[in-house]
């Protein structure tokens, strides 16, 4: 789970180079920001992560993700935490949840949810 903490830290610094070192070149990332700026499509690979950072800059003046707990459930690491964001005339401050898959020491999959309970419920689908 250390690698996941490192990805959160790299995101907080907006350090794309560090994220590229931690993620598989074919990483699949599904995030609520995609619904606002990427036509709802997941971000794929390193080009997708570059686009994600650009979309975050476009949509949010500030966006902070705070992981609070980590739990292994099969091949998924469930992370519960909080998200705070300000942009486009809105402010969000809510629980958040993420599903992560790590293979061979690299992140291969991330799915972000709008709430921690939503992430918990979605475990049955994954």
Q: What is the average pLDDT value for the chain, to the nearest integer?
A: 93
Number of domains in the chain: 1
- Edge-first strand listing for the sheet containing 106-113: 43-44, 23-30, 106-113, 90-103, 76-87, 62-73
Q: Are 81 and 24 in contact (CB under 8 A)?
A: no
Name the residue with tokens 């979605």.
122
39 pLDDT more than 80: no
Name the residue with tokens 């992981």.
67
- Provide the CATH number for the domain around residue 109: 3.10.450.50
Name the residue with tokens 């994600």.
52
Q: Domain residues for 8?
A: 2-122
What would the pLDDT profile of 65-112 be if each residue is shown by its tens digit? 999 999 999 999 999 999 999 998 889 999 999 999 999 999 999 999
87 φ, ψ (degrees, to nearest 5): 170, 155
């Amino acid at each position: 789970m250390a690698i996941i903490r490192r990805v959160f830290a790299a995101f907080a610094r907006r350090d794309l180079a560090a994220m590229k070192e931690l993620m598989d070149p074919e990483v699949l990332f599904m995030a609520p920001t995609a619904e606002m700026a990427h036509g709802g499509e997941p971000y794929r690979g390193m080009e997708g992560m570059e686009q994600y950072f650009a979309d975050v800059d476009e949509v949010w003046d500030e966006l902070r993700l705070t992981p609070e707990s980590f739990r292994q459930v099969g091949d998924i690491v469930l992370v519960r935490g909080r998200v705070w964001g300000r942009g486009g005339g809105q402010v969000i401050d809510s629980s958040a949840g993420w599903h992560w898959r790590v293979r061979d020491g690299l992140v291969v999959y991330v799915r972000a949810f709008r709430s921690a309970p939503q992430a918990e419920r979605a475990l049955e689908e994954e």
